[in-house]
């Protein structure tokens, strides 16, 4: 006997199928193919033409996805709640309208401006249907076979409310490492150097520098001097912001097992020394950025100030939206990279920044799920602590959908081609499947897998941007 496909599987397949059409439809190559085809449903051009082959392939894929979407609606309908049915119904109704628009564009009608936005709306509807279905089926704040969690001891906060009352400061649960002053010779030098490197948060550097590199590639082919100065300044700016963050969060870090061994929290680096080090890095970063242009220096200073002050002191301790709004810190390197080459932020630079901004909550909420208890001990109003794990898992999926839409918009706004399109579909599918698995398993391990999948998604996407942009 053949078992009927699961409703979740059907919705995920329909969502991925629609996304493939959105990304392919956003590429400049498809627009050229439609011109070469010159007809619908067949083509007036010769079949030997590459453009004709692309156009016919896209139409065949659209027919298959239409069948998948219709079949999903028929098979999954009894298992869906009211909200999911409404969202899936919107997608099913809009799909033939989208096909008709595509046909009119193919024969010369001027509806191209509506074609892509409507496809994005259909994708958004399928994401909502999948999200609401998963929420209804897996909506519990308890991991499987675990004791129920107690309600958080505090309510959601807004920027207009006072900060959380922090619990009494406790010593780190683990024995503090010996300070560098108690070591001798080479051990002391090594321990001190390691502590200062850790202050700079080196694990963040590769991804943020890759964001800046992708911004530069979108703007053109930069000189070696511009690349070295921009990325070098970026490393120094990230180090400065990270150092200030270590200083300002040292008390919170001591309450959290994940961060209790940080250099300032353990007093391996005195506060005064860390502040001086952060100031030195800031000056050096601005000097590197100024060698490129003034706008890059201004954006670099804004990035340091935003992460160090706005995110650390204002957003993180005061609002459950800290991760969402804090995504601006990770998005700024895209503008820095683009402005380093073009002299202005530019539409492609802004589009890339939008991808990173929307990706941030889809990425970091997974870590917040895995370390929910730790954040609660630290008094940090992360989404899983304030609103629960069910809401957080739903937001991970919704922000992932928004990220995928932004990635497809970047295709249309930057002229990226098939390499980028293939990568964003492939790694987007992996990320989506990891998030669906997170909903099903509801464990810390599943949250960490989704976290790592999000890192892989953005890293590979940015590499594809660089390779595709420079190839063009």
- HEC assignment per residue over the chain: CCCCCCHHHHHHHHHHHHHHHHHHHHCHHHHHHHHHHCCCCCCCCCCCCHHHHHHHHHHHHHHHHHHHHHHHHHHHHHHCCHHHHHHHHHHHHHHHHHHHHHHHHHCCCCCHHHHHHHHHHHHHHHHHHHHHHHHHHHCCCCCCCCCCCCCCCCCCCCCCCCCCCCCCCCCCCCCCCCCHHHCCHHHHHHHHHHHHHHHCCHHHHHHHHHHHHHHHHHHCCCCHHHHHHHHHHHHHHHHHHHHHHHHHCHHHHHHCCCCCCCCCCCCCCCHHHHHHHHHHHHHHHHHHHHCCCHHHHHHHHHHHHHHHHHHHHHHHHHCCCHHHHHHHHHHHHHHHHHHHHHCCCCHHHHHHHHHHHHHHHHHHHHHHHHCHHHHHHHCCCCHHHHHCHHHHHHHHHHHHHHHHHHHHHHHHHHCCCHHHHHHHHHHHHHHHHHHHHHHHHCCHHHHHHHHHHHHHHHHHHHHHHHHHHHHC
**Span 414-471, pLDDT tens digits:** 888 889 999 999 999 999 999 999 999 999 999 999 999 999 999 999 999 999 998 8
Within a domain: 226: yes
Q: Which of 138, 164, 199 is the last residue of a domain?
A: 138
Do 108 and 186 belong to one domain? no
Within a domain: 169: no
Do 409 and 459 belong to one domain? yes
Alpha-carbon separation of residue 287 from 223, 235, 283 (angstroms):
18, 13, 6
Q: Which of 104, 138, 172 is the last residue of a domain?
A: 138
Within a domain: 349: yes
Alpha-carbon separation of residue 337 from 119, 275, 293, 397, 412 (angstroms):
30, 27, 11, 29, 20
Residue 52's pLDDT is what? 67
Low-confidence ranges of the chain (pLDDT < 70): 1-4, 28-53, 105-113, 141-185, 472
Do 439 and 380 belong to one domain? yes
Residue 279's pLDDT is what? 96
Query: What angle do helix axes 444-471 and 202-219 make, rounded to 10 degrees?
Result: 30
**Span 215-249, pLDDT tens digits:** 999 999 899 999 999 999 999 999 999 999 999 99
Q: Which of 106, 138, 170 is the last residue of a domain?
A: 138
Please name the residues in contact with 343: beta carbons below 8 A apart, sequence gap of 6 or more: 293, 295
Do 278 and 389 belong to one domain? yes
Do 318 and 423 belong to one domain? yes
Within a domain: 79: yes
**Span 286-333, pLDDT tens digits:** 999 999 999 999 999 999 999 999 999 999 999 999 999 999 999 999
Residue 162's pLDDT is what? 37
Q: What is the pTM of this model?
A: 0.86
Do 457 and 313 belong to one domain? yes
Please list, residue by residue across 101-117, b when 16 or more beta carbons sit within 10 angstroms of its beta carbon and e when fewer do: bbebbbeeeeeeeebbe
Do 456 and 339 belong to one domain? yes
Q: Which domain holds residue 133?
A: 7-138
Residue 168's pLDDT is what? 42
Within a domain: 158: no
Do 90 and 222 belong to one domain? no
Do 286 and 418 belong to one domain? yes
Residue 396's pLDDT is what? 97
Residue 429's pLDDT is what? 95
The count of domains in the chain is 2
Within a domain: 316: yes
Within a domain: 431: yes
54, exposed or middle or buried, with CB in 10 Å at 0-12, 13-18, 19+? buried
CB 232 within 8 A of CB 288: yes
Domain of residue 307, CATH code: 1.10.357.140
Do 434 and 288 belong to one domain? yes
Within a domain: 166: no
Residue 331's pLDDT is what? 95
Do 281 and 409 belong to one domain? yes
Residue 173's pLDDT is what? 46
The Cα 214–Cα 220 span in angstroms is: 10
Residue 37's pLDDT is what? 67
Do 189 and 289 belong to one domain? yes
Structural Rg of the chain based on CA atoms: 25
């Amino acid at each position: 006997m053949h078992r009927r496909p699961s409703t979740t599987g059907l919705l995920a397949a329909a969502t991925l199928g629609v996304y493939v059409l959105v990304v392919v439809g956003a590429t400049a190559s498809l627009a050229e193919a439609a011109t070469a085809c010159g007809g619908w449903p067949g083509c007036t051009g010769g079949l030997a033409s590459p453009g004709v082959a692309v156009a016919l392939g896209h139409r065949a894929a659209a027919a298959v996805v239409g069948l998948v979407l219709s079949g999903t609606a028929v098979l999954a309908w009894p298992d869906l709640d009211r909200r999911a049915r409404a969202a899936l119904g919107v997608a099913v109704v809009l799909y033939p309208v989208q096909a008709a628009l595509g046909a009119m564009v193919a024969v010369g009608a001027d509806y191209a401006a509506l074609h892509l936005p409507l496809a994005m709306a259909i994708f958004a509807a399928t994401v909502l249907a999948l999200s609401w279905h998963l929420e209804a089926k897996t909506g519990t704040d308890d991991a499987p076979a675990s004791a129920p969690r107690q309600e958080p001891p505090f309510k959601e906060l807004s920027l207009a409310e006072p900060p959380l009352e922090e619990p009494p400061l406790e010593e780190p649960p683990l024995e503090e490492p010996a300070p560098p002053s108690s070591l001798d010779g080479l051990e002391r030098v090594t321990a001190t150097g390691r502590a200062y490197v850790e202050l700079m948060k080196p694990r963040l550097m590769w991804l943020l520098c890759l964001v800046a590199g992708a911004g530069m590639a979108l703007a053109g082919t930069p000189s070696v001097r511009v690349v070295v100065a921009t990325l070098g300044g970026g490393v120094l700016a990230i180090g400065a912001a990270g150092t200030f963050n270590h200083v300002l969060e040292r008390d919170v870090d001591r309450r959290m097992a994940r961060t209790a061994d940080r250099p300032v929290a353990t007093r391996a680096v005195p506060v005064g020394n860390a502040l001086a080090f952060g100031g030195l890095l800031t000056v050096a970063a601005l000097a590197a950025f100024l060698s490129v242009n003034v706008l890059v220096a201004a954006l670099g200073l804004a990035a340091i100030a935003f992460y160090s002050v706005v995110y650390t002191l204002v957003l993180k301790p005061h609002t459950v939206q800290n991760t969402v709004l804090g995504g601006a810190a990770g998005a700024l390197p895209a503008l820095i990279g683009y402005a380093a080459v073009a002299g202005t932020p530019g539409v492609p630079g802004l589009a890339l920044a939008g991808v990173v901004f929307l990706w941030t909550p889809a990425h970091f909420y997974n870590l917040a799920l895995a370390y929910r208890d730790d954040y609660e001990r630290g008094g940090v109003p992360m989404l899983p602590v304030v609103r629960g794990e069910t809401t957080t898992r739903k937001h991970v999926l919704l922000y992932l959908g928004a990220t995928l839409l932004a990635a497809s918009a970047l295709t249309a706004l930057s002229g990226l081609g098939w390499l980028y399109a293939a990568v964003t579909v492939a790694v987007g599918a992996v990320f989506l499947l990891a998030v669906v698995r997170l909903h099903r398993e509801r464990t810390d391990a599943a949250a960490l897998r989704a976290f790592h999948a999000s890192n892989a998604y953005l890293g590979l996407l940015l590499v594809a941007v660089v390779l595709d942009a420079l190839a063009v």
